Amino acid sequence: MRAVTVRPGRQDAVEVRDVPDPAPGAGELLVEGVAAGVCGTDLDIVAGDYGWAPPGRDRLVLGHESLGRVRHAPDGSGFAPGDLVAGVVRHPDPEPCGACAHGQPDMCRNGRYTERGIKERDGFAAELWCVEPSCAVRLDPCLARGGVLIEPGSVVAKAWEQVERVGARAWFEPRRVLVTGAGPIGLLAALFSVRRGLVTHVLDRVTDGPKPALVRDLGAEYHTGDIADVLAAVRPDVVIEATGAGPLVLGVLTGTDAYGIVCLTGVAPAGRDLTVDAGAVGRDLVLGNRAVVGSVNGNVRHFRQAADTLAAADQDWLERVITRRVPLDRAADAYAAARSGADVKVVIDLDPSAS
Amino acid sequence: MRAVTVRPGRQDAVEVRDVPDPAPGAGELLVEGVAAGVCGTDLDIVAGDYGWAPPGRDRLVLGHESLGRVRHAPDGSGFAPGDLVAGVVRHPDPEPCGACAHGQPDMCRNGRYTERGIKERDGFAAELWCVEPSCAVRLDPCLARGGVLIEPGSVVAKAWEQVERVGARAWFEPRRVLVTGAGPIGLLAALFSVRRGLVTHVLDRVTDGPKPALVRDLGAEYHTGDIADVLAAVRPDVVIEATGAGPLVLGVLTGTDAYGIVCLTGVAPAGRDLTVDAGAVGRDLVLGNRAVVGSVNGNVRHFRQAADTLAAADQDWLERVITRRVPLDRAADAYAAARSGADVKVVIDLDPSAS
């Protein structure tokens, strides 16, 4: 079978290679790849800045945003041939730490977790892959195309769970939400927000392209401009920060409404110093009982929440978030397109019948 | 009766004045003042930078850290003459907002709350005061001297509640705690930490005076030096920041262990710019699932928690936190001493028999 591979730690090119078909372990599902999404973590791996091959190998199969169709499922697995599935990314560390032992590898304490397509486990950008039933989530058949967004959806589901659980430390009935960044995470965060009945605002830099209409078609308001001005106008109870950009990370630390909760989900390169009045930031957080919570990854429960929310969404809207589909044999083009920044979500089509 | 008064918004001196005895409203307790603590908020009021007199008046009775003894209690109030009591500081806003309506004025959303000795309500630095039974907390008789620390204890009880509720959003079994600042809030935060069985570290600047021994006598470790070095050595699961100082507020945003929780409780003046790599801070918060929560004030439940914890503490240790006691007729000296920074906690003795 063919798979998208890279040598982590090196800057050489992505290669679509013929590799041996994977052999399902006891109890595992054998899955035909339908599509794999491309995100910033993939670009970091392709650039040689991140990623680890499985032990004893120099090549990693890329892809942690998955969509596949079950070819073979063992009896009693709870899955059947033809089921549409997505695979969980992060697996528990071997120790395991307390979080991993409690089914929360997304909260792993010791950093020794493994991740499909990222850290010591082959990913899903392949014509065939295997997965343990406990790490697979069945998707509604309506998600035959948009279902490749389940993984970013799981990140958003976890972020919203963090907001709600941090909010539940006292009385909490949020009304206004600001999402910073209208990439896939930001757009899905806005979708989850709107579906909760919250008044939703999205801030991004661009005035053209598909983002403004994608936001407005959710029933949310699209903003460009300065973060401080937008915060002052919206006074959000909740901020989902989805860019990682320093000025936005700093900007959203102040300016929410009292008891505001900021969830940081974005990661950007370190190394750019900004100035901040830390006394003022601290004062604002303390006197307003405000909270900031970082959130990364998602466990199988968050994948299930994402599967439910995306199945209930407008499938045409989900498809519009995917602005480019590249066939497997031109996979390198997918990473180049994603790097250019002009797209919202780039996806590699793995199923030859779809091309 | 005599009371410590000030004209909020002016820099003129604190005055101990003869004022009319307060008349208890229906159902209220009449309380003889035993002691009133002095804290940074009092100094801000005395400096003319904060504080509001009751409507229609220009003078405010100071004092939000209270200790008193019930002189008269209505039948059915749940209190009896001779009971040692402390009064809650913040009262709900008149609207009320959702938080105030749910008994959480400490989480008030609209800022229209009132506060005894701070905002539109006379305080407790008086020979007599009145209080509604619902805003009074009975203290164990062993707290006849240390009980004046109940209000800062309530701030700490709330801070710990925030940590535990934010921690409970996923698996959480903290072991190591760092408290920054060994003032009254920091010392009480360390007391609460030790009583939870946690390995407790305290960072402060000073190497002399009573702080090092107060920390060590709790069974905690005392540190001086750079925050980054201390964080690297301790790798705390929880940080209670009790200074508000910009470099510490910024410093503790990174460097906790994975899933670390930082509770900010300190407030310092704004206006001093520092340099920060916001991208690195955001990355650390996101990839480590870290959380930062600001916490101010405490509601009656937190006062009760503080009353329980302080009653179970070593009373000699509590008394050592109070490094200066000033009689009522020299109250102005108490504020001057507190401003000098050489003391840990300065208290005004209101009961002439104690002087």
Q: What sign does the CA torsion over B133, B134, B135, B140 have? A: positive
Angle at A10 between CA A7 and CA A11, to 5 degrees: 110
Q: What are the C-alpha distances in Å from B189 to residues A107, B72, B159, B220?
A: 26, 34, 8, 11
b/e per residue, A187-214, with b = 16+ CB within 10 A? bbbbbbbbeeebbbbbbbeeeeebbbeb
Last residue within a domain, chosen from A264, A294, A324: A294
Q: How many C-beta neighbours within 10 Å does residue B352 have?
A: 11
What is the DSSP pairing of strand A2-6 with strand A114-116?
Answer: unpaired
Q: How many Å apart are CA A39 and CA A44, to the nearest integer? A: 9
Tokens of A19: 């590799």
Q: Are A240 and A216 part of one and the same domain?
A: yes
For chain B, the distance separating the N- and C-terminal CA atoms, rounded to the nearest angstrom, is: 17
Q: How many Å apart are CA B148 and CA B37, to the nearest integer? A: 6
Interchain CB distance below 8 Å, A169 and B171: no
What are the chain A neighbours of B243 within 8 Å (beta carbons)?
Answer: none
Amino acid at A234: V
Q: Are B169 and B133 part of one and the same domain?
A: no
Q: Are A190 and A176 in contact (CB under 8 A)?
A: no
Closest by CA position to B145, among listed B35, B64, B3, B31: B35
Tokens of A348: 């590699």
Is A26 among the domain residues?
A: yes
Which of B98, B282, B296 lies at the smallest CB-CB distance from A244? B282
Interchain CB distance below 8 Å, B290 and A293: yes
Is B180 among the domain residues?
A: yes
Closest by CA position to A306, among listed A160, A126, A145: A160
Using the Cβ of A336 and the Cβ atoms of chain B, whether some distance falls under 8 Å is answered with no
Q: Are B175 and B272 part of one and the same domain?
A: yes
Residues 6 or more apart whose Cβ sits within 8 Å of residue A88: A116, A131, A135, A136, A137, A154, A299, A300, A303
Residues 6 or more apart whose Cβ sits within 8 Å of residue A68: A31, A32, A33, A34, A84, A85, A86, A87, A124, A129, A350
| Domain carrying residue B333 | 2-139+314-354
What are the chain A neighbours of B169 within 8 Å (beta carbons)?
Answer: 161-162, 165-166, 293
Is A306 among the domain residues?
A: no
Q: Are B16 and B103 part of one and the same domain?
A: yes
Q: What is the CATH number of the domain that holds B33?
A: 3.90.180.10
What are the chain A neighbours of B258 within 8 Å (beta carbons)?
Answer: 107-111
The whole-angstrom distance between residue A116's C-alpha and the CA centroid of its chain comes to 13
What are the chain A neighbours of B289 within 8 Å (beta carbons)?
Answer: 106-107, 293-296
Is the pLDDT assigned to residue A244 strictly greater than 80? yes
The burial of A98, by beta-carbon neighbours within 10 Å (0-12 exposed, 13-18 middle, 19 or more buried), is given as middle
- Note which residues in 196-225 of chain A have CB less than 8 A from chain B: none
Is A144 among the domain residues?
A: no
Q: How many Å apart are CA A86 and CA B43, to the nearest integer? A: 60
Q: Are A183 and A135 part of one and the same domain?
A: no
Last residue within a domain, chosen from B266, B294, B322: B294
What are the chain B neighbours of A245 within 8 Å (beta carbons)?
Answer: 279
Interchain CB distance below 8 Å, A170 and B292: no
Report the domain count for chain B.
Answer: 2
Interchain CB distance below 8 Å, A282 and B249: yes
pLDDT at position A94 is: 97
Angle at B130 between CA B124 and CA B136, to 5 degrees: 80
Task: Give the closest-approach CA distance of A164 to chain B in angstroms.
Answer: 9
Angle at A70 between CA A106 and CA A90, to 5 degrees: 10
pLDDT at position A12 is: 83
Radius of gyration over every alpha carbon of chain A, rounded to an integer in angstroms: 20
- Note which residues in 103-132 of chain A have CB less than 8 A from chain B: 104, 106-111
Q: Are B85 and B110 part of one and the same domain?
A: yes
Is the pLDDT assigned to residue A163 strictly greater than 70? yes
Using the Cβ of A26 and the Cβ atoms of chain B, whether some distance falls under 8 Å is answered with no
Residues 6 or more apart whose Cβ sits within 8 Å of residue B84: B34, B67, B68, B69, B138, B139, B140, B141, B143, B144, B147
Share of chain A above pLDDT 70, in %: 99
pLDDT digits (tens, 9 = 90+) for B6-60: 999 998 889 999 999 999 999 999 999 999 999 999 999 999 999 999 999 999 9
Interchain CB distance below 8 Å, A278 and B276: yes
Q: What sign does the CA torsion over A314, A316, A320, A321 have? A: positive
Instruction: State the DSSP string of A24-73.
Output: --TT-EEEEEEEEEE-HHHHHHHTTSS-BPPTT-S-EE--SEEEEEEEE-
Interchain CB distance below 8 Å, B294 and A281: no
Angle at B332 between CA B329 and CA B335, to 5 degrees: 135
pLDDT at position A162 is: 98
Interchain CB distance below 8 Å, B277 and A271: yes
Across the range A243-254, mean pLDDT stands at 94
Closest by CA position to B218, among listed B140, B345, B321: B321
Closest by CA position to A113, among listed A130, A129, A89: A89
Interchain CB distance below 8 Å, A282 and B170: no
Is the pLDDT assigned to residue A355 strictly greater than 50? no
Is the pLDDT assigned to residue A218 strictly greater than 80? yes
Q: How many Cβ pairs closer than 8 A exist between chain A and B?
A: 205
Q: What is the CATH number of the domain that holds B279?
A: 3.40.50.720
Across the range B58-84, mean pLDDT stands at 98
Residue given tokens 């950008």 in the structure block: A125
Using the Cβ of B142 and the Cβ atoms of chain A, whether some distance falls under 8 Å is answered with no
- Note which residues in 276-335 of chain A have CB less than 8 A from chain B: 276-296
Share of chain B above pLDDT 90, in %: 96
Is B10 among the domain residues?
A: yes
Q: What are the C-alpha distances in Å from A154 to residues A88, B54, B232?
A: 9, 52, 32
Q: Are B249 and B215 part of one and the same domain?
A: yes
Which of B110, B245, B294 lies at the smallest CB-CB distance from A285? B294
Q: How many Å apart are CA B205 and CA B225, to the nearest integer? A: 7
Q: Compare all CA atoms of chain B with the CA of A253 and give the residue at the minimum distance.
A: B292
Using the Cβ of B40 and the Cβ atoms of chain A, whether some distance falls under 8 Å is answered with no
Residue given tokens 């938080």 in the structure block: B99
Q: Are A37 and A123 in contact (CB under 8 A)?
A: no
Instruction: State the DSSP string of B72-140.
Output: E--TTSS--TT-EEEE--EE--SS--HHHHTT-GGG-SSS--EEETTBEE--S-BSEEEE-GGGEEEE-
The burial of A141, by beta-carbon neighbours within 10 Å (0-12 exposed, 13-18 middle, 19 or more buried), is given as exposed
Q: Compare all CA atoms of chain A with the CA of B265 and give the residue at the minimum distance.
A: A286
Interchain CB distance below 8 Å, A282 and B288: no
Three-class DSSP labels, A237-296: CEEEECCCCHHHHHHCCCCCCCCCEEEECCCCCCCCEEEEEHHHHHHHHHHCCCEEEECC
Is A302 among the domain residues?
A: no
Residues 6 or more apart whose Cβ sits within 8 Å of residue B199: B175, B176, B177
Q: Are B198 and B173 in contact (CB under 8 A)?
A: no
Q: Are B94 and B181 part of one and the same domain?
A: no
pLDDT digits (tens, 9 = 90+) for B216-271: 999 999 999 999 999 999 999 999 999 999 999 999 999 999 999 999 999 987 78
Interchain CB distance below 8 Å, B266 and A282: yes
Q: Are A115 and A91 in contact (CB under 8 A)?
A: yes
Q: What sign does the CA torsion over B184, B186, B190, B193 have? A: positive
Is A88 among the domain residues?
A: yes
pLDDT at position B260 is: 98
Which of A165, A166, A270 lies at the smallest CB-CB distance from B283? A270
Interchain CB distance below 8 Å, A295 and B289: yes
Instruction: State the DSSP string of B264-327.
Output: E-----S--EEEEEHHHHHHHHHHTT-EEEE-----HHHHHHHHHHHHTS-HHHHHHHEEEEEE
Share of chain A above pLDDT 90, in %: 96
Is residue A17 within a helix (H) or strand (E), and if so which, with residue range? strand A15-18
What are the chain A neighbours of B257 within 8 Å (beta carbons)?
Answer: 109
Across the range A304-330, mean pLDDT stands at 98
pLDDT at position A324 is: 98
pLDDT digits (tens, 9 = 90+) for B184-209: 999 999 999 999 999 999 999 999 99
Phi, psi values for residue A181, rounded to 5° = 105, 125
Q: Are B44 and B132 part of one and the same domain?
A: yes
Q: How many Å apart are CA A194 and CA A188, to the nearest integer? A: 10
pLDDT at position B355 is: 45
Q: Are A287 and A158 part of one and the same domain?
A: yes
Task: Give the closest-approach CA distance of B354 to chain A in angstroms.
Answer: 36
Is A146 among the domain residues?
A: no
Closest by CA position to A65, among listed A269, A350, A355: A350
pLDDT category, B354, cuts 50, 70, 90?
low
Q: Are A288 and A169 part of one and the same domain?
A: yes
pLDDT digits (tens, 9 = 90+) for A264-290: 999 987 788 999 999 999 999 999 999
What are the chain B neighbours of A274 within 8 Å (beta carbons)?
Answer: 275-278
Task: Give the closest-approach CA distance of B172 to chain A in angstroms.
Answer: 8
Phi, psi values for residue B189, rounded to 5° = -60, -40
Q: Are A212 and A322 part of one and the same domain?
A: no
For chain B, what is the mean pLDDT? 96
Q: What are the C-alpha distances in Å from B289 to residues A131, A297, B135?
A: 26, 9, 38
Q: Count helices and strands (H / E) in chain B.
A: 11, 20
pLDDT digits (tens, 9 = 90+) for B313-348: 999 999 999 999 999 999 999 999 999 989 999 999
Interchain CB distance below 8 Å, B278 and A247: yes
Interchain CB distance below 8 Å, B291 and A292: yes
What are the chain B neighbours of A241 within 8 Å (beta carbons)?
Answer: 282
Q: Are A321 and A218 in contact (CB under 8 A)?
A: no
Across the range A83-90, mean pLDDT stands at 98
Q: In degrees to the nearest 10, what's the CA dihedral of B173, B179, B180, B185? A: 130
The burial of B252, by beta-carbon neighbours within 10 Å (0-12 exposed, 13-18 middle, 19 or more buried), is given as buried
Using the Cβ of B44 and the Cβ atoms of chain A, whether some distance falls under 8 Å is answered with no
